[in-house]
Amino acid sequence: MNNSARAIAWPLHLSLLAIAVAFPFVFSSPFLVNFGVLALFYAFIGQSWNIAGGFAGQLSFGHVVFFGAGAYASTILQLRLGMNPWLGLPVSAVAGAVVGGIIGFLSFRAGLKGSYFALITLAFAEVLRILVNSVGFTGGGLGLLIPAKISAANFQFPERIGFYFLILALTVGSVAVAVWLQRSRFGAQLAAIRENEDAAMALGINVFREKVKVMVLSGAMCGVGGCFFAQYFLYIDPTIVFGVDKSVEMLLVSMIGGAGTVYGPLIGAVLLAGIGDVTRVMTNVQGLSLVLYGGLLVIIIAFLPDGLIDLFKRIGQRLKQGGA
C-alpha cells in the first residue's frame, strides 16, 4: 500500500472506530445494543475465516471446528477446574491454534487443496462434534451451562454494553491483523499462494509452512470467538458450537462483504445480523434467515463476485468522477 492510500485509510479507520464507540450511547436500547454485539461478533468470526479463506485462498467449510474447540476448552476449564473465565480468552486462542495447526499439517501434508480441503475441514468438525457429544466431561448432548454470577470480574457484565466494548476490542484487533496482512511480507506470500501455488513455490515460498501458519492464526482467532460466545450466552452444546450453520455464517459474512478485504466481513456481518433480527421480529418461520442468506449469496456471486465492498468502491469512484 503506497503512502497516499495509507493517508486515506487512516481517517477511514478512525471514523469507523468513532462510530462504533458512539453506537451504544446513541442507540442505548438493549435490543439495539444486542444487535451491535451480534454484528461485531459475526464480523470477528467472519474475519477469522477471511484470514485463511480470503487472504490465503484456503476455503474452509468446517471453520466451526476452531470455534467449538475454543468454546469447549475455555468452558471445561472454567467449570471443572475453576479457572477464571477471563483466562478463557488466551486458552481458547491456544486451543483453536492447536486444532488449526493439526488440521493444516495433516491436510496440506496430504496435498489437499480446493474442494478437497474444504470437505476435510467439514469432516474434522463433524468428528469433533461426535466426540464431544459422546464424552461425559463435556456434558455430552446436554451441553454445559455456565452459572450466572453477574460481575465484570467473572466475565458476566451487568449490562450488554460491557460485552459490546469487549467484542469491539476483539474486532478492532482482527481488523488490525487484516491490515497487517495487506502490508506484510507474510500477507504477500499468502496472496501469491492464493493466486497460484505452483508459481509461489517457484518464487521460493515455502507453501506448506505458510499455509499451516495461516491456519494456526485463523484457528486462534476463531477459538477466541468461541470463548466469547460461551460467556455471552452462558451455554454451549455440540450442535450449537459445532453446527454447520456457524461455518456457513462465517463464510457468508466474508463472501457477501468481500473476501480478502479488510472491511468485507464487517459489511457482511452488519447485513446478516440485520436480516437475522428482522426475520426473528417479523416472522416465526424457522430457518428463514438462512434462506435469505443463501439467496443473497447467489445474487452476490452472480453480480458482485468481489462482494459488496466492490460495489461501494464503484459508487465512490463514480461520485469522484462526477465531482471532478
Total number of residues shown for the chain: 324
Report the pLDDT averaged over residues 142-147. Answer: 94
In a domain, 252, yes or no: no
pLDDT-derived band at 132, boundaries 50, 70, 90: very high
pLDDT in tens, 105-128: 999 999 999 899 999 999 999 999
The answer to whether residue 111 is domain-embedded is yes
Does any domain span residue 219? yes
Quote the pTM value. Answer: 0.92
Q: Is residue 324 part of a domain?
A: no
State the total domains in the chain.
1
Question: At residue 241, what are phi and psi to the nearest 5 degrees?
Answer: -90, -10
Cα gap 5→285, rounded to integer Å: 45
Nearest to 126 by CA among 46, 221, 52, 61: 61
In a domain, 70, yes or no: yes
Residue 317 domain flag: no
Domain that holds residue 74: 3-238
pLDDT above 70 coverage of the chain, percent? 94
pLDDT of residue 200: 94
- Confidence at residue 286, expressed as pLDDT on a 0 to 100 scale: 65
Any domain includes 213 = yes
* 3-state helix/strand/coil string of the chain: CCHHHHHHHHHHHHHHHHHHHHHHHHCCCHHHHHHHHHHHHHHHHHHHHHHHHCCCCCCCCCCHHHHHHHHHHHHHHHHHHCCCHHHHHHHHHHHHHHHHHHHHHHHHHCCCCCHHHHHHHHHHHHHHHHHHHHCHHHCHHHCEECCCCCEHHHCECCCHHHHHHHHHHHHHHHHHHHHHHHHCHHHHHHHHHHHCHHHHHHCCCCHHHHHHHHHHHHHHHHHHHHHHHHHHHCEECHHHHCCHHHHHHHHHHHHHHCCCCCCHHHHHHHHHHHHHHHHHHHCCCCCHHHHHHHHHHHHHHHHCCCCHHHHHHHHHHHHHHHHC
Q: Nearest-CA neighbor of 58 among 125, 103, 97, 99?
A: 103
Tell me whether residue 222 is in a domain. Answer: yes
* pLDDT reported for residue 10: 74
Q: What are phi and psi of 144, to 5 degrees?
A: -125, 130
In this predicted model, what pLDDT tens digit does every residue of 51-101 receive, in sequence order? Answer: 999 999 999 999 999 999 999 999 999 999 999 999 999 999 999 999 999
Residue 234, judged by CB atoms within 10 A of its CB (0-12, 13-18, 19+), counts as: middle
